[in-house]
Amino acid sequence: MSLHLPPYQPLPPPGPKADLLSVAIADLRPTQMCVGLAEVRSRQQDFSEETAEQRLRYLRGKPVPLVRGAGDALWMVDRHHRLRGLIELDPGAMAYGYLVLDRPSEPPQAVLTELQARGWLYLYDGRGHGPLAPTALPQGLEGLQDDPYRSLVWRLKKEGMIDPAPLIPFHEFRWGAWLRSRPLPPFSSANLAPALAAARSLVRSRAASHLAGWKG
């Protein structure tokens, strides 16, 4: 299966003097259907080993790109994995974010339409089916499905096989979509080992050279 993800506008980075908003993670709306649970569990382990002060300092250094609509509705366009991991540990947790798009008079459907035009929505489910309608997005992080291919790409990035590209929306899902079109042994987010050897070879091959973050 090969997913055809749309063109995108890069995400604006936070400026050196960006005004950061303190936001309740439970109030944030996802812009994707799924996460890789292997990464979520790794993020949880990291959070569980930090003090409250260390956690806040970390979150301030990794602000969430936010889109605001009418009634102060907030969508997050990145950081889904770390915040999904954190809210499972602490349902009342707060994070920091910065606005990449402000549409204070626009209702949810209009905001989602603009996000879709910018390539800032990932509308495929955990099995790669889609694109689904933007209205199918979960209302909160707890509703995100598991996508084992997203877990696999996280592991490959962690091993240095793929370079990060933080301003490309859903960069890892783009790699996951490509890997879905290649033959891999059965695997899961809880057990990536069966697919790792083949996946390492694939992401270093010339066939993947068109993807951002390719290292060869």
What is the residue-wise DSSP string for 9-49? PPPPPPPTTPPPEEEEGGGEEPSBSEE-HHHHHHHHHHHHT
Contact assessment for residue 123 and residue 30, using Cβ atoms and an 8 Å cutoff: no
The burial class, CB within 10 Å (0-12 / 13-18 / 19+), for 139 is exposed
Nearest in space to 134 (alpha carbons), one of 154, 107, 116, 153:
116
Q: Helix (H, G, I), strand (E, B), or coil: what is residue 102?
A: strand
- Residue 110 makes CB contacts below 8 A (sequence gap 6+) with 69, 103
Per-residue pLDDT of the chain (216 residues; tens, 9 = 90+): 446 677 889 999 888 777 899 999 999 999 999 999 999 999 999 999 999 999 999 999 999 999 999 999 999 999 999 999 999 999 999 999 999 999 999 999 999 999 999 999 999 999 999 999 999 999 999 999 999 999 999 999 999 999 999 889 999 999 999 999 999 999 999 999 999 999 999 999 999 999 999 999
